Structure 1
Amino acid sequence: MKLLFASDSFKGSLSSSKTVELLSKAAKDVFEDVEFSGVSVADGGEGTTDSVIDAMNGEKIYVEVHDPLMNKIKSYYGKFGNKAVIEMAAASGLPLVKQELRNPLNTTTLGTGEMIKDALDKGFTDISIAIGGSATNDGGIGCAKALGVKFLDKDGNEVEGFGRDLDKIVTIDATSIDSRLKDTKITVMCDVTNPLCGENGATYTFGPQKGATKEILPILENGMINYRDLIKKEFNIDADKIQGAGAAGGLGIALKVFLNGEMKSGIDTVLDLIRFDERLEGVDLVVTGEGRTDWQSCFGKVMQGVGNRAKKKNIPAIGLCGSLGKDAEKIFDEGIVSLMTTVDAPMSLDEAIERSEELYYKGAVRMFRFIKAGMSIAK
């Protein structure tokens, strides 16, 4: 029997690579004769760069960039071969801004653009960008500015590139954008479908979690409407008709308009990057999982992606998860044939996180013993 381990991380406790380590130990302890391999996986959000580096024996490229508040920080992106993998959150993410300082009027995606520019400087011609977890609502103008796009006010001066600057723009000049971009494949990992403006747009959907108050939201939205109208006027692109335009505070539309980025599912992009389909060859069973499985697991998450890839090759996939929530059984329509939990008794979340390695290993042993029992019945 040949097993493949491909689990998401358990937020706050286990990395994807740690689940592979624990599953490997449990498989050795339960089965007399079993072949297995494992791969780190992420869904295009937090941890994507590290997962791809780990899965593909890539490396980190360290770079100094500006964080959302324009402080200089040292961050990194990933590389393997001629491909670069960038998480916008590593430069422009919400965790980089202290709670009391969160205000999307005052944040910028400039650092994300600086990462992209560094990748171009190093000769990469295939760049994948994960755009979850942003602290920004600047429409991506900071990112585009770092790559040569000029956003000019009524006096012909360049705006700084913060969320508060969107309503000041009267002209967009993309003639000086980095010429290397035209020969570079840009893939945007994005699983949200929100338009740029409106009640389901970038500002009203995601602004509050980034620190936008009821007073700030209309200011941001008016700026975004001005930006949208300029894009329509100067590039003949209707941002409200492009799925994902409002992702990451509007970074989605900037990557589409100025970099000709292709929007793709985050988990599918990651699975393609790590050559997951090739790893399924000869496999009899896939083990995946995540910290909590519920109805949201069917919308661009790791278990859905892994389960459907396995299903296409008629390979059963099972999930070992921290806990199960509302409508968790919906994942059975996505190639997952069974679910087990690591938690083995009533306990608080803090205790489950503190004991995560112990609980995960014991859960893996129970799961593999069930599989072993099934094998005996089959004989």
Structure 2
Amino acid sequence: MKIVIAPNAFKNSLPAAGVAAALEEGIRLSGYAGELNCCPVGDGGDGTGSLLAQYLGAAILPAAVADPLGRTIDASFGWVRETATAVIELADASGLRLLLPEEYNPLVADTTGCGQLMKAALDQGAGELLLCIGGSATVDGGTGILKELGLRFYDAQGGTLQQFPKDLVKLHAIDASALDPRLRNTRITILCDVKNHLCGAKGAAAVFGPQKGAGVDDVMLLEAALQQLRQVVMQYGGKDMDALESGGAAGGVAAGVAAFCNVEIVNGIDYFLKKIDFEQKLEGADRVVTGEGSIDHQTLEGKAPFGVAMMAKQKTIPVIGVAGRVPETTDPELQACFQWLFSINDQPLPIEEAIRQTHPNLVKAGIKIGREVQKQTAAVASSV
């Protein structure tokens, strides 16, 4: 028997590698003695960059950057010298995890630090940037990044805008003449795990603003700022930032960077699995275990467990899904993806308690999986 353990992170609790390790521990405790292959995955969300850097054997290079509120912090990026590829985790510089809850303020939090990481990578000689944009603290349309890369933003009087994104409602003109010329020969691949457009009811401000501390009035101001940015960019660059699927990812970073740079936006999990040659890791597998904090119908829109399940199903390998939360009612489409889908919580828990219990509950889930696999294997053997 061979089991491949390929989970995503459990948000706010355990990184993907920690989830895989807990499941492995439980499966071994069940008495399972077969082969186990731990292969934690990412779909563009926070933590994807560090995983990619590990799989690609990247060196970790330090860089001093601004956090979302402008304070200097130590960050880093992955560097693959052989291919001149930099792996950049936006959240390392502009992530929500860098702030205390009482500091969440998407009206003034910006992506300047991520832009500084990108410049550091260009200084290193990067010809390709792999940009993982999950976990941002920002809804700035990527203007912090673009400012660092040389764009200038002006109001109607010709004054330079100072604070992003809230000052964007006064945006009147953009000057791209000083955009870093190295970007013309640099490929930027953005890994996304959402399909939201920049503006509107399902856009960056409305959907992601409240997650980052925006109240009702703040969401309205952020929406107005992004709409104004969109209009001015169309006037000066000819691109409609709102036309881009996934453009609203990371508070509009995807749309903003794509408007001025050589960008390809990709489905994060599909790109990740191909990059690490996950198909080869599935060779000879009898079961695949995947999961993340929540598995529901939205998972089918391209989240990590769905990508893992689809690749396994192509090889007719049964897939077991585990999550902190699963639908209470049967979802036929999820059933088609997962042979077995269950919550690691034996009973409903307050979210804070469920997060605290994630590791031990994953170990228990691993024991349950190990026993079930051995039971099924024994049943098949006895029927032969």
Q: TM-score, normalised by structure 2?
A: 0.88
Out of 125, 129, 152, which is 1:127 matched to?
A: 129
Cα deviation digits, residues 179-208 of structure 1 (max 9, x gap): 222222211122333333333332333333
Instruction: Tell me how far apart the structure 2 counterparts of residues 85 and 105 of structure 1 sit (CA, whole Å).
Output: 28
Question: What does 1:136-175 correspond to in 2, within 5 Å?
Answer: 136-175=138-177
1:221: how far off? 3.1
Out of 301, 312, 329, which is 2:303 matched to?
A: 301
In the alignment, what sits opposite 1:109? Answer: 111
1:45: how far off? 0.9
Pair 1:69-2:43 in alignment: no
Pair 1:360-2:366 in alignment: no
Cα deviation digits, residues 102-136 of structure 1 (max 9, x gap): 33332221111111111111122221212233222
Cα deviation digits, residues 288-316 of structure 1 (max 9, x gap): 12233333322322211100111122222
Out of 341, 344, 351, which is 1:342 matched to?
A: 344
Contact preservation (8 Å) 1:307, 1:334:
no
Q: TM-score, normalised by structure 1?
A: 0.89
Cα deviation digits, residues 10-68 of structure 1 (max 9, x gap): 33443322333334444445567522211121221122123223444434332111112
Out of 82, 88, 91, which is 1:89 matched to?
A: 91
Deviates more, 1:73-82 or 1:361-370: 73-82
Contact preservation (8 Å) 2:27, 2:368:
no
Contact preservation (8 Å) 1:291, 1:323:
yes
Q: Secondary structure at the match of 1:106?
A: coil
Q: Secondary structure at the match of 1:77?
A: strand
Contact preservation (8 Å) 1:138, 1:161:
no
1:6: how far off? 0.5
Question: What does 1:8-87 correspond to in 2, within 5 Å?
Answer: 8-30=8-30, 34-81=34-81, 82=83, 83-87=85-89
1:256: how far off? 0.7
Contact preservation (8 Å) 1:294, 1:328:
no
Question: What does 1:135-284 correspond to in 2, within 5 Å?
Answer: 135-284=137-286
Cα deviation digits, residues 298-335 of structure 1 (max 9, x gap): 23222111001111222221123344334564563563
Contact preservation (8 Å) 1:320, 1:364:
no
Q: Secondary structure at the match of 1:220?
A: helix
Instruction: Give the direction of change, closer, same or farther, for the CA distance of 1:101–1:369 in structure 2 (3 Å limit).
Output: closer
Instruction: Give the direction of change, closer, same or farther, for the CA distance of 1:334–1:71 in structure 2 (3 Å limit).
Output: farther
Q: Secondary structure at the match of 1:243?
A: coil
Supply the RMSD in Å over aligned alpha carbons.
Answer: 2.6
In the alignment, what sits opposite 2:7? Answer: 7
Q: Secondary structure at the match of 2:43?
A: coil
Deviates more, 1:149-158 or 1:243-252: 149-158
Q: Secondary structure at the match of 1:63?
A: strand
Structure 2 residues without counterparts, runs of 5 or longer: none
1:163: how far off? 0.8
1:155: how far off? 4.2
Question: Size of the alignment, in residue pairs?
Answer: 379
Q: Secondary structure at the match of 1:143?
A: helix
Contact preservation (8 Å) 2:296, 2:334:
no
Contact preservation (8 Å) 1:40, 1:54:
no
Instruction: Tell me how far apart the structure 1 counterparts of residues 121 and 346 of structure 2 sit (CA, whole Å).
Output: 46
Instruction: Give the direction of change, closer, same or farther, for the CA distance of 1:147–1:3 in structure 2 (3 Å limit).
Output: same
Q: Secondary structure at the match of 1:296?
A: helix
Instruction: Tell me how far apart the structure 2 counterparts of residues 72 and 15 of structure 1 sit (CA, whole Å).
Output: 25
Instruction: Give the direction of change, closer, same or farther, for the CA distance of 1:215–1:345 in structure 2 (3 Å limit).
Output: closer
Out of 301, 315, 318, which is 2:317 matched to?
A: 315
Instruction: Give the direction of change, closer, same or farther, for the CA distance of 1:326–1:234 in structure 2 (3 Å limit).
Output: farther
Instruction: Tell me how far apart the structure 1 counterparts of residues 33 and 197 of structure 2 sit (CA, whole Å).
Output: 52
Q: Secondary structure at the match of 2:107?
A: helix
Deviates more, 1:42-51 or 1:318-327: 318-327
